[in-house]
Structure 1
Amino acid sequence: MEFDALMLSRIQFAFTVAFHIIFPAFTIGLASWLAALEFNWLRTGNPLYRNLFRFWVKVFAVSFGLGVVSGIVMSYQFGTNWSRYSEFTGNVLGPLIAYEVFTAFFLEAAFLGIMLFGWERVGDRLHFFATCMVALGTLLSAFWILSANSWMQTPAGYAIENGKAVPVDWFSIIFNPSFPYRYAHMVMGCYLTTAFAVAGMSAWMLLRHPHDAPEAKLAGSRRSMSMALWFATIFVPIQIVIGDLHGLGVLEYQPTKLAAIEGNWETQANMPLRLFAIPDEEAETNHYEIAIPKIGSWILTHAYDGVVPGLKDVPRDERPPVWPVFFSFRIMVAIGFAMLGIGLWSVYLRWKGTLFTNRTFLTATMIMTPSGFGAVLFGWFTAEIGRQPYVVYGLLRTADAVSPVSAGAVTASLATFVVVYAFVFGFGSYYLAKLLRRGPDPVEDIRGDDLGKKPKRPFSVPDEGLEGRPGHKPQPAE
């Protein structure tokens, strides 16, 4: 492997984007999680939800800030390291990125301050509206970014003029063939990332206290873990279905990527499901293969005799690196089934009444805290490495997209990024660890005026969690 400007630029972008994607993957789901907590506070008047909101909004603020910092440098790399790519795609992708700024970023910027600092100043309903707008902004940001990235995977609605891609049909560009499935798959992945992060952190907080500790110290962690696990139990199977639909699209539009994912060298019907193998690109075969006959064709084509393309159908210089694509996909799938197992296990423990006291389960849930991040990262590795040797699939090779820069310049900038990221994210991670170690404040630690406060809202307000509080008078539901 030659570490020239091309390889170093790819390593640098992979390094920065891998750091960056961790934070949006968390904050996209966390923003909606905060909206759900505040909605429950408005619906029930239970101060537990408001207390949980105050805790998780601090985690959101730190994660959001780190995400913004890590994302800024990527836009500069398009000009410094990938100028030929920018020149080729600028007429198509430039407006998409601008739409992300004009809609998502401005929406988040307008309401983020209210969500973080304005609850005591704007009232409950307006604050809830601000929280919802921040959550909507994160989803809009993902919409435009995934649209742009999906166009690079399955280009549509364009024409080539003077060696550049120009827009012809904006609807086809935005809603290109792979976009709907990739957007749904990514957003659901972000939500599950947050769900398992919240569940795992909550399990860790419960493990730090004996199960018979005062309820005030355990209530927040128990409620967070319960809500997160209910979400995971319901939506992990849905994510598996979305992934299956996405796979059908890859088979249709990126068959070479699919062949690399499956380690399939020969076009064949009745393809086996390869659970494990060591792909040998030089010999064009697999070693130590463990496979289930015919199941691969059934999964990919929904027919046991379905034909699956092979890598030998295209020249060697048209194939992606097989080894990282093959294994990153299987790691992502393995994490997904581990998530499914945790969800089913939680249902069984709820039925047994030991969800919060089974220390083996709590330990397993805690271990699964970073699982969503891992699934997102390995999914992106599969998608991005799988489209090689193209940066715009079928149109622009990665080798033709790099800027005319020296290897020494890229090495210097890469080393700088490593040092700066280690410093910034080291401190950010340290502060997050301090927040998580403290955990949500016990309900009894909320100021007295909050305990009996009835939020101003048009929602039904049962008395859950308020009975016996000083100054509380039972109120009929509206």
Structure 2
Amino acid sequence: METSSFNAFDLARIQFAFTVSFHIVFPALSIGLSSFIAVLEWRWLKTGKAYYKDLCLFWSKIFAVAFGMGVVSGVVMAYEFGTNWASFSKFAGPITGALLTYEVMTAFFLEAGFLGIMLFGWNKVGPRAHFAATLTVAVGTLMSAFWILASNSWMQTPQGFAIVGGQAVPVDWFKIVFNPSFPYRLVHMTLAAFLVAALVVAATGAWHLLKGRRDPAVKKMFAMAMWMLLALAPLQAFVGDQHGLNTLRYQPAKIAAIEGLWDTETGGTALNLFGVPDMQAETTRYALSVPHLGSLLLTHTWDGEIRGLKSFKPDERPNSTVVFWSFRVMVGLGILMIVLAVCAWLLNRRGRLYDTRWFHRFALLMGPSGFVTLLAGWVTTEVGRQPWVVYGVMRTAQAMSPLTAQQVGLSLMTFVVVYFLVFGTGVYYMLKLMHAGPRITKAGEDTREAGTGGRRALPVTA
């Protein structure tokens, strides 16, 4: 008999949620920063302006820390599949195990193989060879996202397999990888990673602008981050809309939970802007609804019908109380990102982008919003999938290893202590680097020959 208020299953879910939440923020930052660094290095090669290379060196340090913490936290999650979720590994291992192996053999090998050249090869190889290494690292991070999301998307919308001897055996790898939700989730996550990096870069630039710095490096990274937000934040809203249409088709219970919708409404579905879903009473209390807006947003028609949660069995309903608000946190912060980007565009037209302090404070406050939005999105995705670990095929409760609450609770407490010590130190170091900022260089200084082994180099690379 379990003696704790949480049983082993609850604790195992909490532990995985805790570790994956720590893990996901670091790869997201490294995916965005690696591409940003590649663009900076390309601009340095193209123009020879010193501040582009200084920004490369500056953000490469932060990328290296994020990359290292992402690798360490990812390894821990791999072990959890064997310790806490052995039944899932046994059932889905022929598919998910292979996909994760592809990720290691392609993406991780590219990243790890060329990371040393990217970080320490400025004076060891020529500029073009170094740029090729930087590009390879950036491509590697994107390939990592490809395989990880292929695995997770298959769990959301499984296809291309057969169950043989109690295992999910691959039948069609193309269908497994390119399952119905994969394209939407890959684009959505990639854009989210770019937005995470853009907001961190913007906040760092805003911090130094508030401190009075107006050198080209600070101004350039602040401006580049804002243009990235202006281009991608509205695009992310469009991709999210298309992803919602896909989810409505393949995971209708998730959509009903997100909207706090209990009854199937004919002739047009209202949208609950706010409310408190009550799973026991099967209602959304204090709901503020707009008639037909749910149909317009979710089906793009005036009278589109959306199934309510009551049309699903009680034991097949996601927790609407959680996903209702996690989704709204994600959407609300996404709207603020668009507002931030539009304000930047207006201020730039007036020549006030680098001199408006209230806007710099706004950008600084929005710095962590990318991480919060990312986590809220993953909470919506994963909690909304419940009670399935492989949607419609295997329940999460069936995936659990035969463990006791004491065993899982002890490992959970260990993870909490170690994670906050180790990753807290890493985050503190990254913040310290951001606080210091890139070094100041002379405007217009030509550094295209720097870092070539035997030719002229900047003092910092020498």
Q: What is the distance in 2 between the residues matched to 1:397 and 1:454?
A: 57
| Paired position in structure 1 for 2:455 | none
* 1:455, distance to aligned residue in structure 2 (A): 3.8
- In the alignment, which of 449, 454, 459 is matched to residue 448 of structure 2? 454
| Paired position in structure 1 for 2:48 | 45
* 1:452, distance to aligned residue in structure 2 (A): 4.1
| Paired position in structure 2 for 1:370 | 368
- In the alignment, which of 95, 111, 117 is matched to residue 92 of structure 1? 95
Q: What is the distance in 2 between the residues matched to 1:287 and 1:453?
A: 63
* 1:451, distance to aligned residue in structure 2 (A): 4.2
| Paired position in structure 2 for 1:164 | 167
* 1:191, distance to aligned residue in structure 2 (A): 0.4
Show the 5 A alignment for 1:249-260. Answer: 249-260=246-257
| Paired position in structure 1 for 2:353 | 355
The 1:452/1:231 distance shift into structure 2, 3 A limit, reads closer
Using the size of structure 2 for normalisation, the TM-score is 0.95
Asked whether the equivalents of residues 154 and 177 of structure 2 are also in contact (C-alpha less than 8 Å), the reply is yes
- In the alignment, which of 4, 8, 11 is matched to residue 5 of structure 1? 8
Structure 2's unaligned 5+ residue stretches are 452-457
- In the alignment, which of 175, 178, 181 is matched to residue 178 of structure 2? 175
Asked whether the equivalents of residues 277 and 285 of structure 2 are also in contact (C-alpha less than 8 Å), the reply is yes
| Paired position in structure 1 for 2:198 | 195
- Say whether residues 1:225 and 2:222 are aligned partners: yes
Q: What amino acid is the match of 1:20? A: H
The 1:331/1:454 distance shift into structure 2, 3 A limit, reads closer
SS in 2 for 1:119: coil
- In the alignment, which of 237, 241, 256 is matched to residue 240 of structure 1? 237
* 1:401, distance to aligned residue in structure 2 (A): 0.5
Asked whether the equivalents of residues 206 and 356 of structure 1 are also in contact (C-alpha less than 8 Å), the reply is yes
Q: What amino acid is the match of 1:68? A: V
* 1:430, distance to aligned residue in structure 2 (A): 2.0
Q: What amino acid is the match of 1:363? A: R
- Say whether residues 1:116 and 2:119 are aligned partners: yes
Q: What is the distance in 1 between the residues matched to 2:363 and 2:450?
A: 37
* 1:244, distance to aligned residue in structure 2 (A): 0.6
Structure 1's unaligned 5+ residue stretches are 458-468, 470-478
The 1:407/1:98 distance shift into structure 2, 3 A limit, reads same
Q: What is the distance in 1 between the residues matched to 2:305 and 2:448?
A: 63
Q: What is the distance in 2 between the residues matched to 1:59 and 1:420?
A: 21
**More displaced 10-residue stretch of structure 1: 423-432 or 405-414:** 423-432
* 1:454, distance to aligned residue in structure 2 (A): 3.3
Show the 5 A alignment for 1:252-331. Answer: 252-269=249-266, 270-331=268-329
Q: After TM superposition, which residue ranges in structure 1, 4 or more long, deviate above 3 angstroms? A: 450-457
Show the 5 A alignment for 1:457-468. Answer: none
- Percent same amino acid at aligned positions? 52
Q: What is the distance in 2 between the residues matched to 1:88 and 1:21?
A: 25
Q: What is the distance in 1 between the residues matched to 2:14 and 2:34?
A: 31
Aligned residue pair count: 448
Asked whether the equivalents of residues 123 and 456 of structure 1 are also in contact (C-alpha less than 8 Å), the reply is no
SS in 2 for 1:277: strand
The Cα offsets for residues 179-237 of structure 1, whole Å up to 9 and x where unpaired, read as: 0000000000000111111001110111112xxx5x5xx32111101001001001111
* 1:456, distance to aligned residue in structure 2 (A): 9.1
Q: What is the distance in 2 between the residues matched to 1:2 and 1:305?
A: 45
SS in 1 for 2:277: strand
* 1:426, distance to aligned residue in structure 2 (A): 2.1
SS in 2 for 1:443: coil
Q: What is the distance in 2 between the residues matched to 1:414 and 1:452?
A: 53
SS in 2 for 1:156: coil
Asked whether the equivalents of residues 196 and 370 of structure 1 are also in contact (C-alpha less than 8 Å), the reply is yes
- Say whether residues 1:387 and 2:385 are aligned partners: yes
Q: What is the distance in 2 between the residues matched to 1:423 and 1:122?
A: 37
The Cα offsets for residues 45-67 of structure 1, whole Å up to 9 and x where unpaired, read as: 11110011111101111111111
- Say whether residues 1:64 and 2:71 are aligned partners: no
Q: How well do the aligned residues superpose, as a CA RMSD in angstroms?
A: 1.6
Asked whether the equivalents of residues 85 and 399 of structure 2 are also in contact (C-alpha less than 8 Å), the reply is yes
Q: What is the distance in 2 between the residues matched to 1:306 and 1:72?
A: 45
Q: What is the distance in 2 between the residues matched to 1:185 and 1:386?
A: 17
* 1:97, distance to aligned residue in structure 2 (A): 0.5
Using the size of structure 1 for normalisation, the TM-score is 0.92
| Paired position in structure 1 for 2:410 | 412
The Cα offsets for residues 295-318 of structure 1, whole Å up to 9 and x where unpaired, read as: 110110010100111101111111
Asked whether the equivalents of residues 276 and 291 of structure 1 are also in contact (C-alpha less than 8 Å), the reply is yes
- Say whether residues 1:429 and 2:433 are aligned partners: no
SS in 2 for 1:394: coil
SS in 1 for 2:389: strand
The Cα offsets for residues 56-111 of structure 1, whole Å up to 9 and x where unpaired, read as: 10111111111111111000000000000000101111110100011001111110
Asked whether the equivalents of residues 125 and 456 of structure 1 are also in contact (C-alpha less than 8 Å), the reply is no
* 1:13, distance to aligned residue in structure 2 (A): 0.4
Q: What is the distance in 2 between the residues matched to 1:249 and 1:453?
A: 49
**More displaced 10-residue stretch of structure 1: 154-163 or 143-152:** 154-163
Q: What is the distance in 2 between the residues matched to 1:56 and 1:262?
A: 40
- Say whether residues 1:80 and 2:83 are aligned partners: yes
Q: What is the distance in 1 between the residues matched to 2:426 and 2:393?
A: 40
